[in-house]
Every structure is written in C-alpha cells, then in structure tokens.
C-alpha cells in the first residue's frame, strides 16, 4: 500500500496529528452500549426462564419418584385400608408432603382406586403430582 492510499484511509483526526489511529470513537462505544442495553435484558430473561423451568422439572421429577414409592408402599403393605392417609417424607425430603384417597372404582366393589398426591411449594404456589392405581379387594361377586 502506498503512502497516499494510507493517508486516504485515515480519519481526519489522524491526518491532523500524523499518528496512526487506534481505539474506538465515542460514538462507536456509545452505539455498542446502547445495543447491549437492548439485548442484555432479553438474554437475562431467557436465562431466568430456563432456570425456573429446570427447577420446576427437578421438583416434579422428585415428587413423581416420591409419589411412586409411597403408592407402592401403600399397595404392598395394604396400608391404603387405614384411615390416616397423609403425611410427609421426614427429614430426607423436606418440603414434600403427601395425601392419599381411596375410592371404589367399579360398581361391584372389587376394585379400589388408590390416588397419591405429593405436594410441594415453589415460588409461593402449591404444586402437586398425582399418581393412581387399582387394588383388588379380594371379594367375590
């Protein structure tokens, strides 16, 4: 590149001082800051939404696991015939509690529906997972 071409590429400020131009102008920095001010809140909102969704999915999976375990415990031990069908999971799983309901599923009364609901509180709202199964009562027609 010739010296004449290099002088044409320099900004007016660089031509006056005779030094090579380095750095950014105030307008370029200001435009970058404005762009960041517009984009950054949207990006942070997206991250916040992703984290909230992941937290909800974690709690829901944990509650499903607890509900399945409690449902199997009630059916295997025939504890579903008791009157007290509620409680919590102790210090192992603080923040989760469960209730169970038993209802007749068929008109004859041979099958009972056992429904376990596991509750937890997240972001100021009660959330729940419900699992159910059928249990044969052993009666005859």
Give the pLDDT confidence score for residue 40 in this predicted structure.
95
7-27 pLDDT, tens digit each: 555 555 555 555 566 788 999
Nearest to 135 by CA among 85, 76, 86: 76
64 vs 2, which has greater pLDDT? Answer: 64
* Domains of the chain, CATH where assigned: 23-136 (3.30.1300)
**CB proximity list for 66: less than 8 A, separation 6 or greater:** 89, 93, 96, 98, 118
| CA–CA dist 5, 50 (Å, integer) | 52
Tokens linked to 120: 């937890």
- What is the enclosing helix (H) or strand (E) of 119? strand 111-122
Give the pLDDT confidence score for residue 58 in this predicted structure.
96
pLDDT at 68 over 90: yes
Give the pLDDT confidence score for residue 7 in this predicted structure.
53
């Amino acid at each position: 590149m010739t010296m004449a071409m290099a002088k044409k590429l320099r900004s007016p400020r660089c031509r006056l001082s005779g030094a090579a131009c380095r750095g950014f102008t105030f307008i370029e920095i200001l435009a970058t800051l404005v762009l960041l001010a517009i984009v950054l809140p949207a990006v942070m909102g997206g991250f916040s939404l992703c984290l909230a969704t992941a937290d909800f999915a974690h709690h829901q999976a944990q509650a499903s696991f607890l509900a399945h375990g409690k449902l199997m415990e009630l059916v295997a031990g025939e504890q579903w015939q008791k009157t007290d069908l509620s409680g919590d999971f102790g210090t192992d799983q603080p923040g989760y509690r469960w209730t169970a309901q038993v209802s007749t599923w068929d008109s004859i009364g041979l099958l009972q529906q056992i429904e376990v609901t596991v509750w937890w509180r997240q972001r100021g709202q009660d959330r729940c997972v419900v699992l159910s199964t059928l249990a044969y009562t052993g009666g005859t027609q």
